[in-house]
Amino acid sequence: MKRIFCRLYQYYAHDMRMQSKLIISHLLLVLIPTLVLSVFFYRNIYNLIVTSTVKSEQALCAQTADTLEATIKQISNAASSVLSNPFTDSLFTIPEKSAGSLTAGRDDIIHFRQSAAIVTGQEIISSIRIYCDDRLYQELKAYNTEDFSLFQSISSVSSTYWYGIYSSDRERDVLLCPGLYLSPTEKKENGELAYICKIPYSDSGNASAYMAVYFSQDRIDDILQKDMTVADSAIYIINDRDTFVSASNSSLAGAYFMSQKDLAEHIESAGRFAVNKFMDEDIYIGYYTIAGTDWDMVSVLPAASLLEKGNRLVIQFVGIYLFFLILALFMALALSHSITKRLANVARQMGEVRSGKPHRLEQKTQEKDEIGNLVETYNYMTDQISQLLIDQEKAAKELQLSEFKALQAQINPHFLYNTLDMINWLSVSGKKEELSCAIQALSRFYKLTLSRKDAVSLIEQELEHVSLYVQLQNMRYEYAIDFIIDVPPELEEYTIPKLTFQPIVENSIQHGIFMKESKTGSIVITGWKEGDDIVFQVTDDGVGMDEDTLSQILSGSGKKNGGSNIGIYNTHLRMQLLYGRSYGLSYSSSPGSGTVVEIRIKANKDNGKA
């Protein structure tokens, strides 16, 4: 395990690309602390979310309770405004024995009905009815109209639940009635909920009338549903008889129903939430007493829904974190790319120095950071190296030309000695015509040699040059050499170093053919183009060479039967100086089978230019 870790560290620290290293470092620096903190604080974060949600629901429920109180207060004030009308006493607060005859005048009754109609015009109130003692009703029903039947008989509601409550509780003055307390006709024509006040006779506890202010249950339902923020939660209202008044969701309210007694037992005080088990499910439940009523508003929050909400918040947090993480990753990528790209350019350019001349790094803008300074220093170094290479190349060319001229000077005396020896022999022999021909050939030979100062000449001229040499040799040795040139005419316009063929042919004659017993033989020069190179083969049928001689012939150290191979060595060296190490001469031979010399040069035209 330790070895694996060491290898990973070695790869990360020394072998990984810098851009990958920077990105991984940034990710590790961001992710590791985040993961550790997330694992460590997850439970605390979840509890914080749940606590925050519960407190938020407490605040919303308190606002809802205040809204309900204000709504009921508005209805109560409307009822009080009607009851406080001066004509209410004259109409209803009378001795019970006077119930059969009206003491109020017609105008008073009409004025009273109009004031009740004004209250009905309020948005929240759907209708007002006054249920009179049947004896009073007989006198008052004449003041009803088609659009506003204010006065109704008590006998029409005697079978309702709310009337039964008043009958059993003679001390009750006000009753907030849920829909269960009202008759179907009341709910259909007037409203689903009612605020009912008792108006007693002046001399007894019996009711002379009941004033009912009806309002819509939808208004209460809307108030409850307005602040619902948790899924599957429920808010409902029950009265002191544990009857449903309203609910945000009837089915959920029925599932989570608790009586006022149970609420008081399980929850410390109103306005606070407590955790309870309900059918093997954890719930947060709280209640709020609505002032001025017998209502309790109950709010139920399933723990599973809070967990889901908490998870959504965590997911949102993770999403936001990932967004900024990706943003940071892109920034790290851009930063690392900015750094590594410039470093890679410098490294690549420095690597090119191994195979060629270094080149400057172009900068679109003047960069002043450390890498910019490195690039600027590299460019300065490149300029200096380039200038040194130019100076070195110039000096090398001058040295190369000097060496070539020195080598040429070594070859010319060698050939001249052999030729003059032949002319001397012709002169001594008295062969005047041959002597004249030899002198003309020698003159033409040296004219070709000395006509240009360049180190190279056309292949055509070199072939003529070597032909003159063989001609001179044949004149000396009674035409013992059969010389053949088989070179395509299109190659004749290419260039070749001067005195290339002559030393090779000379050695083929002197140390190949003339070493044979017959002293006669043939030499063939062939040539062809091979890609960007030109290849010649000089083949003779002389005595050949052994392996030791072959290994020494191009080194300048070998000896050949009383003669030196300095001409061959110099020719090979000149070609390598002009064209490179891959060019020059190569020999293949074996004793008794002749020798083949391969000459490889660059295919250059026009005095060395390709």
78 CB neighbour count, 10 Å cutoff = 21
What's the average model confidence in pLDDT over 429-437?
81
What's the average model confidence in pLDDT over 228-236?
83
What SS3 class is residue 152? Answer: strand
Q: Tell whether the model's pLDDT for residue 4 goes beyond 50.
A: yes
- pLDDT tier, 128 (very low <50, low <70, confident <90, very high otherwise): very high
- pLDDT tier, 561 (very low <50, low <70, confident <90, very high otherwise): very low
Cα–Cα distance for residue pair 387/410, rounded to 1 Å? 34
What are φ and ψ of residue 171, in 5° steps? -85, -15
Cβ proximity of 195 and 79 under 8 Å? yes
- pLDDT tier, 603 (very low <50, low <70, confident <90, very high otherwise): very high
The pLDDT assigned to 238 comes to 94
Residues in the chain: 610
What's the average model confidence in pLDDT over 102-126?
78
Strand partners, 526: 486, 537
- The number of C-alpha atoms within 13 Å of 144 and in the hemisphere containing its C-beta is 16
What SS3 class is residue 301? Answer: strand
Residues in contact with 92: Cβ distance below 8 Å, sequence separation at least 6, in sequence order: 132, 136, 199, 201, 208, 209
- pLDDT tier, 564 (very low <50, low <70, confident <90, very high otherwise): very low
3-state secondary structure 107-146: HHHHHHHHHHHHHHCCCCEEEEEEEECHHHHHHHHHHCCC
Instruction: Quote the crossing angle between the two packed helices 303-352 and 370-429, to the nearest 10°.
Output: 30
What's the average model confidence in pLDDT over 265-293?
84
The pLDDT assigned to 530 comes to 95
The pLDDT assigned to 13 comes to 66
Cβ proximity of 603 and 529 under 8 Å? yes
What's the average model confidence in pLDDT over 221-227?
86
Q: Tell whether the model's pLDDT for residue 505 goes beyond 60.
A: yes
Cβ proximity of 298 and 237 under 8 Å? yes
Q: Tell whether the model's pLDDT for residue 312 goes beyond 80.
A: no
Of the candidates 58, 433, 555, 80, the residue with the CA atom closest to the CA atom of residue 270: 58
Residues in contact with 303: Cβ distance below 8 Å, sequence separation at least 6, in sequence order: 50, 275, 281, 282, 283, 284
The pLDDT assigned to 609 comes to 44
Q: Tell whether the model's pLDDT for residue 327 goes beyond 90.
A: no
- Cα of 459 vs its chain's centroid, Å: 64
3-state secondary structure 328-387: HHHHHHHHHHHHHHHHHHHHHHHHHCCCCCCCCCCCCCCCCCHHHHHHHHHHHHHHHHHH
What SS3 class is residue 540? Answer: strand
Give, as one character, the DSSP assignment of residue 160: S
Cβ proximity of 427 and 435 under 8 Å? yes
- pLDDT tier, 608 (very low <50, low <70, confident <90, very high otherwise): very low
The pLDDT assigned to 396 comes to 64
Of the candidates 499, 462, 473, 517, the residue with the CA atom closest to the CA atom of residue 573: 499
Cα–Cα distance for residue pair 242/238, rounded to 1 Å? 5
Give the residue carrying structure tokens 């008295």: 430
Which of 99-103, 157-161, 261-265, 375-379: highest mean pLDDT?
Answer: 157-161
Ordered alpha helix ranges (H), 169-259: 184-189, 217-226, 250-255
The pLDDT assigned to 451 comes to 65
The pLDDT assigned to 425 comes to 75
Q: Tell whether the model's pLDDT for residue 475 goes beyond 90.
A: no
What SS3 class is residue 213? Answer: strand
pLDDT tens by residue, 72-85:
999 999 888 888 88
Query: Tell me, which fold does domain 221-306 have in CATH?
Result: Beta-Lactamase (3.30.450)
183 CB neighbour count, 10 Å cutoff = 17
Which of 4-13, 428-437, 457-466: highest mean pLDDT?
Answer: 457-466
Q: What percent of the chain has pLDDT over 70?
A: 85
Q: Does this model's pTM top 0.85?
A: no
The pLDDT assigned to 25 comes to 75
Q: Tell whether the model's pLDDT for residue 33 goes beyond 90.
A: no
Of the candidates 122, 88, 121, the residue with the CA atom closest to the CA atom of residue 104: 88
What's the average model confidence in pLDDT over 145-153?
85
Cα–Cα distance for residue pair 51/306, rounded to 1 Å? 10
Q: Between 21 and 286, whose confidence is greater?
A: 286
The pLDDT assigned to 591 comes to 92
Of the candidates 237, 259, 261, the residue with the CA atom closest to the CA atom of residue 180: 237
The pLDDT assigned to 610 comes to 40
Q: Tell whether the model's pLDDT for residue 155 goes beyond 50.
A: yes
Q: What is the domain partition of the chain in residue ranges?
A: 67-219, 221-306, 396-602
Cα–Cα distance for residue pair 318/330, rounded to 1 Å? 18
What's the average model confidence in pLDDT over 95-103?
67
Cβ proximity of 119 and 78 under 8 Å? yes
518: its two tokens: 């017959």
**Sheet harboring 595-602: ordered strands across?**
481-486, 521-530, 533-540, 595-602, 584-589
- Domain 396-602 CATH assignment equals 3.30.750.24: no
Cα–Cα distance for residue pair 321/509, rounded to 1 Å? 91
**Mean pLDDT for the chain overall:** 82
Give, as one character, the DSSP assignment of residue 92: T
- pLDDT tier, 243 (very low <50, low <70, confident <90, very high otherwise): very high
The pLDDT assigned to 402 comes to 67
Cα–Cα distance for residue pair 77/32, rounded to 1 Å? 64
E-only strand ranges, 426-493: 456-458, 481-486
The pLDDT assigned to 117 comes to 83
Cα–Cα distance for residue pair 462/497, rounded to 1 Å? 9
Instruction: Specify the range with the lowest mean pLDDT, choosing from 239-248, 358-367, 571-580.
Output: 358-367
Residue 62 corresponds to which amino acid? A
E-only strand ranges, 437-491: 456-458, 481-486
Q: Tell whether the model's pLDDT for residue 607 goes beyond 60.
A: no
- pLDDT tier, 563 (very low <50, low <70, confident <90, very high otherwise): very low
String of DSSP letters for 541-561: -S----HHHHHHHTTT--EET
Instruction: Quote the crossing angle between the two packed helices 459-476 and 501-508, to the nearest 10°.
Output: 30
pLDDT tens by residue, 395-429:
766 765 665 566 556 555 666 776 787 788 778 88
What's the average model confidence in pLDDT over 151-162?
92
Q: What percent of the chain has pLDDT over 90?
A: 29
Instruction: Specify the range with the lowest mean pLDDT, choosing from 40-44, 161-165, 244-248.
Output: 40-44
Please give the torsion angle defined by the CA atoms of residues 217, 219, 220 and 221, in that order, rounded to the nearest 10 degrees: 80
pLDDT tens by residue, 518-560:
999 999 999 999 999 999 999 999 999 988 888 888 876 655 5
3-state secondary structure 241-277: CCCEEEECCHHHHHHCCCCHHHHHHHCCCCCCEEEEE
Cα–Cα distance for residue pair 6/414, rounded to 1 Å? 71
Q: Tell whether the model's pLDDT for residue 323 goes beyond 60.
A: yes
